[in-house]
Structure 1
Amino acid sequence: MKDIAQTVGVSLATVSRVLNYDRTLSVSESTRKQIFEVAERLNYSKFKRRPVPVTKELKIAIVQWYSKTKELDDLYYMSIRLGLEKRCEERHFLATRTFHSDLSSIDADVDAIIAIGKFSAQQVTAMAQLTPNLVFVDQDQLAEGYDSVVTDFDIAVKQVIDGFWAAGQRRIGLLYGTEWTTDEKLAVIDPRYLAFKHEMEDHGAFDPALVFSGDYTNQSGYEAMMTAIKQFGSDLPAAFFVTNDPMAAGALKALHEQGIAVPQRVSVMSFNDTTIAKFVFPELSSVHVDTELLGSAAVDLVADRYNNGRTTPQRMTIGTKIVKRDSTK
């Protein structure tokens, strides 16, 4: 946090409060954005795969389905974008970015589009009209004929549940997210919810009463956990799986306010392992997703098409690992 504070030019207290989503802090959006971006960059390890030279300087448009403001509420997508931009710089590609799926700013002579997030069929068609070279990050579009880079959610969720199970925690709650594409034409189902339901059913332990939904924000995590606490009281499950870090941070706040000890009474496992996982109290155990690799792999898929003339669509599935910290026993 000292490194972040020195780089941005703010106090240590300001960094701490911003990373803990303290909305009572009076700080500009520009400073807030800087703090999150610097935190993510300092958290990176260099991706060491040797670049393959491309015969031309490619022009790549990065389409981020989040707005600039919303990107700060869920660092997962910002982390992917930063990793993608870093890889473009390493390969000497010209990268331009557009937020909230705004395609009007994309140049007509763009060589490829890398789309981060979730997109409806209509949005995919609109991008394909600009260039046939599309790569999707965090959405599987292989069936539609496009390169895709995705996370292996099924194995990750199985490992989470196996970990709780091994600790004797059979009654496991879930806080997950729901959202829509920016054109509101496609409801996006959280793949971690589907994997959780499937895995718990295999254990004969799925209970829909223990499942709570939010919108991936810190506030929705807080509200979902408060609902669970009021609903179950002393019968609150001893373990919760939360499908992203902002929601998990909100859940921790609710548990703290109600005097429920973590992890002594309730264990909390999060997902994505963005920077904030290490700046909340207690520090969050989380499934680490290599967001830099997700972004880098997308750029490499574009380069591969130009280097090798590949036309067959390819899907890259990136594995995860569980990072245990203080929020779990």
Structure 2
Amino acid sequence: MATIKEIAEKAGVSIATVSRVLNYDPKLSVGDETKKRIFEIAESLSYQKKAPRKKLTRRIAFVHWVTEREELTDLYYMGIRHGIEEQADQHHLHLLKYTIHELHDIPNDIDGILAVGRFSKKQIEQFKQLTQHVVLVDSDIEHDGCDAVLTDFKTVIKQAVDHLLDQDITRIGFIGGKERLQGTATPAKDIREYYFRECLTEKALLNEDLILLDHFNVDSGYELMHQFLEKPLANNTGFIAANDPLAIGALKAINEANIKIPDHISLIGINDISVSKYVYPALTSVRIEKELMGKTAVDLIMERLRDDRQICKKVYIDTSLIKRETT
């Protein structure tokens, strides 16, 4: 921390003047330029590091919520991984890869952790015991005391709902799922479902009969929509799926039932994975910049290692609605 004497020397004023300026003495007769100079010097000196910069080390644990085989069921996580690997290569970082089932294999002398997915509070505390340099990616709720790269799912849901309302669709449903974090007894609250309920409640449009929940995969999307279509269908219904695999599964069931899309049912996915534009009809989806999330996570850990940043930072990446044939 800078001393008043150091600030006075740099500002070319007395120690007493600096003291009175920093204490906002109302009786002090000093020009604004002098005050500005003193404050700027005080601010700049407060962030100067007295100790020599630490040698940059490059062993980073990359903890992935899914295996590379499992990520084939949701290319969202593949996109994040590609972003991390590409940016890590640019910074010459050595990534040591672990899955959620291998947390106890992470060495105690690791220099940082990049963790992708949804982890329990207990698991995040385990990360923080290994290193103070922890960056979480896609951790919706638990990210206190860590850097995090996040998606504003409240905005994501609003983008999807507003688009359906613009098409004069007011019967709006949600296709989602429930999952239990490792080491927890009850399913974790899905933030997408939470914001969907909040948004539709505010608009007095929430219909529990249109909320379909199972698991977050293609098969669940298919089964949920297949069961829904066994009941009489009201025209002009729209569904928002928690991810694209759910939407793609639902799309298959709608096509098998020979129901016209989007004349009778409209459908919006979330994530905009690469296959969304190749299914038939092409899927409207809210695009999440997956690769950029991964690259941003690496940049955050580089700030920690290179600049010794101590204050946690949360970075939200913008999303955009990609309109295609299902709406």
What TM-score, normalized by structure 2, do the two folds share? Answer: 0.79
Q: Does structure 1 residue 78 correspond to structure 2 residue 78? A: yes
Aligned length: 274
Pairing of 1:223-262 with structure 2 (within 5 A): 223-231=223-231, 233-235=232-234, 238-262=237-261
Instruction: State the shift of 1:81 in Å.
Output: 1.1
Aligned to 1:193: 193
Instruction: State the shift of 1:60 in Å.
Output: 0.9
Gaps of 5+ in 1: 1-53
Please say if residues 235 and 264 of structure 2, whose CA atoms lie closer than 8 Å, have aligned partners that are also in contact. Answer: no
After superposition, what is the alpha-carbon deviation per residue over 1:137-188, rounded to whole angstroms, capped at 9, x for unaligned? 0115676211111101111211111111111000111101211123345632
- Runs (4 or more) in structure 1 with deviation over 6 Å come to none
Please say if residues 238 and 266 of structure 2, whose CA atoms lie closer than 8 Å, have aligned partners that are also in contact. Answer: yes
Partner SS, residue 234 of structure 1 = coil
Rounded Cα–Cα distance in structure 2 between residues aligned with 1:174 and 1:187: 18
Aligned to 2:178: 178
After superposition, what is the alpha-carbon deviation per residue over 1:91-123, rounded to whole angstroms, capped at 9, x for unaligned? 111112112341233233211001111111221
Instruction: State the shift of 1:56 in Å.
Output: 2.6
Rounded Cα–Cα distance in structure 2 between residues aligned with 1:96 and 1:187: 29
Please say if residues 245 and 277 of structure 1, whose CA atoms lie closer than 8 Å, have aligned partners that are also in contact. Answer: yes
Structure 1 vs Structure 2: percent identity of aligned residues?
Answer: 34
Rounded Cα–Cα distance in structure 1 between residues aligned with 2:310 and 2:183: 29
Rounded Cα–Cα distance in structure 1 between residues aligned with 2:189 and 2:167: 29
Please say if residues 65 and 99 of structure 1, whose CA atoms lie closer than 8 Å, have aligned partners that are also in contact. Answer: yes
Code of the aligned partner of 2:244: D
Instruction: State the shift of 1:57 in Å.
Output: 4.5
Pairing of 1:146-161 with structure 2 (within 5 A): 146-161=146-161
Q: Which protein shows a greater Rg?
A: 2
Aligned to 1:291: 290
Q: Once superposed, what is the RMSD of the aligned Cα atoms? A: 1.8
After superposition, what is the alpha-carbon deviation per residue over 1:247-300, rounded to whole angstroms, capped at 9, x for unaligned? 111000100111111122211110000112022111111000000111111111
Q: Does structure 1 residue 203 correspond to structure 2 residue 240? A: no
Please say if residues 140 and 191 of structure 2, whose CA atoms lie closer than 8 Å, have aligned partners that are also in contact. Answer: no
Q: Does structure 1 residue 58 correspond to structure 2 residue 44? A: no
Partner SS, residue 213 of structure 1 = strand
Partner SS, residue 115 of structure 2 = strand
